[in-house]
Structure formats: structure tokens, C-alpha cells
Amino acid sequence: MDTLLLPTDFSATAQNAARYALQLAEQLSVKKIVLYHSYEIPVTIDPMVPGIQMLEVDTLKEESEHGLAKFRSDLLPFSKNVLIEIFNEYGDLAEGLDDVCNKVKADIVVMGITGGGALEEKLIGSNAVSVAKHTHTPVIIVPAGCSFTRIEEIMLTSDFDRKDSKVPVELVRKIVQETKAKLFVFAIEDDPEEYEDDTTHSAEDYALHRLLNDLSPEFHFSENANFTEAVNDFASEYGIDLVITIAKKQGFFGSLFSESHTKQLAFHSQVPVMVIHE
């Protein structure tokens, strides 16, 4: 991997994500981190007054550039052999990030997230969750206060659909091989009674086993209906350093990102979560 993209709003959460990104870059031998900031005209500006609007854009651009320069300066003493560049532009962060990833040739996006109360999560959400929803480049969401630990154990959450061969195994394989981590594949069994009379019920039944066989993964099942609790319990027990979850095309964002396992996990995971798309 050559480039990490680090969107920032210059907050403490973003600074923590930057520290994580620098150490991740060292483990992955990443050559470059691009600090990115997007800016938009506040909705309070009157669109009927274009002169004021243009002045506001110029001011926002200048403030953005100044903020990025300072942020870069603060990170340089810790960057070691990683090049740090800055990039900013006018636009919406989430909806424009795919284009930005293409421009800077980003392999991974790294962002921080601040866990909030139920009302904040339901109504406000998070830039990180929104970015993960719209962006097809893998996004690593770093929990607030989470410090970097070398990635040696990776957990892939799966629904273990026996007919599902659409998992983006190359992305999973790439991160596992480049980190040299052990892979655990984890699933919740919604209806364990479904398999009571199934004597062949095992990991070998699933397409995912065949797709990932060369990585020698361990397969684990849980009957805990609380997805986030089950993931956190497993992550704690097995010393997981990174959770990978897959965004499915069919109905994923219509349901999962409004009341989703993935959104809940993003807000409440104890370790960083990587979201990748089918």
C-alpha cells in the first residue's frame, strides 16, 4: 500500500486518528499520508448575495489551508519515513471522497469517531460513518481515545451465507498479508436451531471458507443476539487489533446504516473497524 488518506476537521478525535495512521503507515510501509480537509459555505449565507458568498469561500479556503499546514507541522516530528502531504477543496466530505481518493490514489481512508449518546447516533450520526457509507475505498474508523497496537490479529465479521461468494476477498487478503496477521472469521447465528439436525454444519460448508482458505483462518460462531456486544467480547478474548466488516450492496445502506450492526459497531467498538464494500 502506498497512500493513506486522512480526512480531518482538526479536532482532538482527528488528531488521535492521525497518530494511529502514522503508526499504521509504519507497519504497512506506506510511503505517503495525505491530510485532507473539505470546506463548504455555511447554510446561513444568503445565496442571493454572490459577492459575500465568494468572499466567504475565499476565507474558508484560506482557513482550511492554514489549518492543514499547522496540522502537518505538528505531525512531522512523528512521521519518520512517511511523506505527509496536504490537500483541500470545496465540497461535501462524504459524497466527494471517492473522487478525492482517486485524485490522491488512496489505498485506505483513516478517520476518527466520537461515541455519543443514542440521540446523537440516531439523528446526527458521524462523518466517519457517512464516509464509510459513501466511499468505496476501505475506511478504518478509529474509536476516540484508541491508541495504535500493531495489527497481529484481525477479525472478519460475516453472515456465513453458504452461497455468498461476493466477499471482496482480495482486499481482505491484502490487509492480512501485509500485516502478517492471524485471521479470525466471526459470525452470529441468528437461528442456531436451524442446524440442529445438520451434521455437516462447519466452516467448510461456506463459500467464504474456500475463498479464504489460503489464509488459514479460524472460524467462530456466537449465539449472542447483541451483535456489538458479541464482537467486543470476542475482540477482547482473542486480542483483536482490527475488525473488518463488509458493506453489502443489497439493502445495506437502506437498513444497516440507519439501525445497523455496522453503525453500532462503529460507535461502540473497542478497536478500530475497517469497512470495505462488495
How many whole angstroms separate alpha carbon 201 and alpha carbon 78? 49
Predicted pLDDT of residue 266: 78
Domains of the chain, with CATH numbers? 3-143 (3.40.50.620), 153-277 (3.40.50.620)
CA 47 vs CA 51, 91, 134, 150: distances in Å: 10, 16, 27, 49
The CA distances from residue 18 to 12, 69, 145, 255, in Å, are 10, 14, 12, 31
- pLDDT class of 48 with cuts at 50, 70, 90: low
Q: CA triplet 22, 27, 31: central angle to 5 degrees?
A: 65
pLDDT, residue 148, reads 95
Q: Average pLDDT for residues 212-230, to the nearest whole number?
A: 86
Give me the mean pLDDT over the 15-28 stretch: 94
Residues constituting the chain: 278
Q: Does residue 125 have a pLDDT over 60?
A: no
Q: Which grid coordinates belong to 102?
A: 482517486
Rounded mean pLDDT, 72-82: 91
User: Amino acid letter at 52?
Assistant: I
User: Is residue 185 within 8 Å of residue 218, measured between CB atoms?
Assistant: yes
Mean pLDDT computed over every residue of the chain? 80
SS3 241: coil
Q: What is the reported pTM?
A: 0.84
Q: Span 224-231, mean pLDDT?
A: 86
Name the residue among 7, 24, 33 with its Cα closest to residue 271. 24
CB-CB contact of 97 with 7 (8 Å): yes
Pair type for strands 139-143 and 108-113: parallel
Local structure of 41: helix, strand or coil:
coil
For the beta carbon of residue 58, count every other beta carbon within 10 angstroms: 10
Whole-number percent of the chain with pLDDT over 70: 75
Contacts of 53 (CB under 8 A, 6+ apart): 41, 45, 46, 47
Residue type, 253: F
Taking the C-alpha atoms of residue 84 and residue 69, their distance in angstroms, rounded to an integer, is 10
pLDDT for residue 205 = 52
Query: What does the angle CA 164 – CA 215 – CA 249 come to, to the nearest 5 degrees?
Result: 30
Give the torsion through C-alpha atoms of 9, 10, 11, 17, to 10 deg: 90
